[in-house]
């Protein structure tokens, strides 16, 4: 859970009147978000900034690697990712404080390694997370994870900005999962129509290859 403060809580932490905090928000002197009900929420990073509390050191890092299946792991792809990130960190003079990894689809939001990273982020010593490619962290919603970690003072560094050209097979698997999921919601997970749709898409994928 992101550490944020209401107007009153933030004012209490600083020992100022809540109207002062509201004025800062109106004048864009504070970064804040709003709840669905319209209430302001101010991240802990703003309290750090105003009180001079030391921010996270970005020369202390965590690394994260992911492969979609055990075959890729056995082929050494996961080890190569982590080795590449370790080398990148050392080349920049950064110390590695923690390592996280997963074997699973980038569409799966409930990955053990990713969950551990998010759970640790609030109180971790590192101020940066390294990944080889953006889709190693997540197939969709990267900007949301980026924004969440920023609330803890942790930034994400993507080592390779271009598309991962070795991830074609994984992308096909993810697409088939999406098709199967949506077809299942429309026609039922055990319906023959769902099965035919998935088989048709799979056949088209094989033809394109």
Residues designated as active site = 68
Bridge partners, 61 (sequence order): 96, 128
Q: Are 155 and 127 in contact (CB under 8 A)?
A: yes
Rounded distance between C-alpha atoms, residue 180 and residue 197, angstroms: 8
Rounded distance between C-alpha atoms, residue 201 and residue 102, angstroms: 27
Kindly tell me the number of DSSP H helices and DSSP E strands found in the chain. 10, 7
Dihedral sign (CA 163, 165, 167, 171): positive
Roughly what angle, to the nearest 10 degrees, separates helices 112-121 and 142-151? Answer: 30
Q: What is the DSSP string of 92-107?
A: TTPEEEEEEEEES-TT
Q: Are 88 and 130 in contact (CB under 8 A)?
A: yes
């Amino acid at each position: 859970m992101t550490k944020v403060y209401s107007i009153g809580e933030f004012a209490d932490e600083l020992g100022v009147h809540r109207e002062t905090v509201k004025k800062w928000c109106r004048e864009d002197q504070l970064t804040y978000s709003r709840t669905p009900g319209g209430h302001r929420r101010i991240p802990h990073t703003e309290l750090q900034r105003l009180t001079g509390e030391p921010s996270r050191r970005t020369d202390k890092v965590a690394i994260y690697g992911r492969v979609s299946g055990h075959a890729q792991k056995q082929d050494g792809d996961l080890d190569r990712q982590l080795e590449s990130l370790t080398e990148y960190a050392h080349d920049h003079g950064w110390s590695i404080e923690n390592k996280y990894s997963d074997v699973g689809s980038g569409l799966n939001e409930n990955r053990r390694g990713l969950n551990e990273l998010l759970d640790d982020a609030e109180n971790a010593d590192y101020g940066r997370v390294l990944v080889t490619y953006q889709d190693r962290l997540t197939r969709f919603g990267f900007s949301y994870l980026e924004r969440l970690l920023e609330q803890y003072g942790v930034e994400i560094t993507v080592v390779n900005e271009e598309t991962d050209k070795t991830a074609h097979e994984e992308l096909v698997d993810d697409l088939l999962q999406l098709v199967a999921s949506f077809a299942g919601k429309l026609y039922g997970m055990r319906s023959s129509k769902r099965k035919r749709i998935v088989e048709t898409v799979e056949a088209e994928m094989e033809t394109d290859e």
